[in-house]
Structure 1
Amino acid sequence: MADIEEARKTFEQFDADGDGFITAAEWKSAMARMGDFYQTEAVAEAVIAAKDTNADKRLSFDEFWASLNK
């Protein structure tokens, strides 16, 4: 099980605009900052879709947290 405070910090790093959601573009950008320059928009969209329980094409913290605890 993940530590919720660490998860919040990580979520905030991915949520570049601070709106409380991670989009595919933000995911791709965060992955590039971490050294994964090969993450494509399509891959980022697939990652978000796999974790996005309400199908709004973005991750809330609750969805992010749930995905860490599967």
Structure 2
Amino acid sequence: MANIEQARAAFDRFDADGDGQVTPDEFKHAMAEMGDPYVTGPMAEAVINSKDADHDGKMSFDEFWQALQG
């Protein structure tokens, strides 16, 4: 991502309910909408968990942004 505005737009595509957190279900659903119907529940959980710095089972925008920086 080139900048924080682009990152926010990308994050918002995953955050279906707009609560500022992406759950594994939201991630799976967004990936299917973007053309990848093969993301399973366990795969989505693994992706979210890999970015979930506070271990709450969800990915916040701050966690997403940090992942993009590293």
Specify the TM-score bucket, using the shorter chain as the normaliser.
over 0.9
What's the TM-score once normalised by structure 1's chain length? Answer: 0.96
In 1: Cα distance, 2:16 partner to 2:56 partner: 18
In structure 2, the residue matched to 1:38 is 38
Paired with 1:35 and 1:10, the residues of 2 have a C-alpha distance of 15
* Count of residues paired in the alignment: 70
- TM-score, normalised by the number of residues in structure 2: 0.96
- Residue by residue over 1:23-54, the C-alpha shift from the partner in whole angstroms, topping out at 9 and shown as x without a partner, is 00000001001100000000000000000000
Question: Mind listing any 5+ residue stretches in structure 1 that lack a counterpart?
Answer: none
C-alpha deviation, 1:2, in angstroms:
3.6
Aligned to 2:63: 63
Structure number with the bigger relative contact order (C-alpha 8 A, sep ≥ 6) is 1
Q: Which runs of 5+ in 2 are unaligned?
A: none
CA distance in 2, matches of 1:60, 1:68: 13
Q: Retained in 2: the 8 A contact 1:27–1:44?
A: yes
Alpha-carbon RMSD across the aligned residues, in angstroms, is 0.9
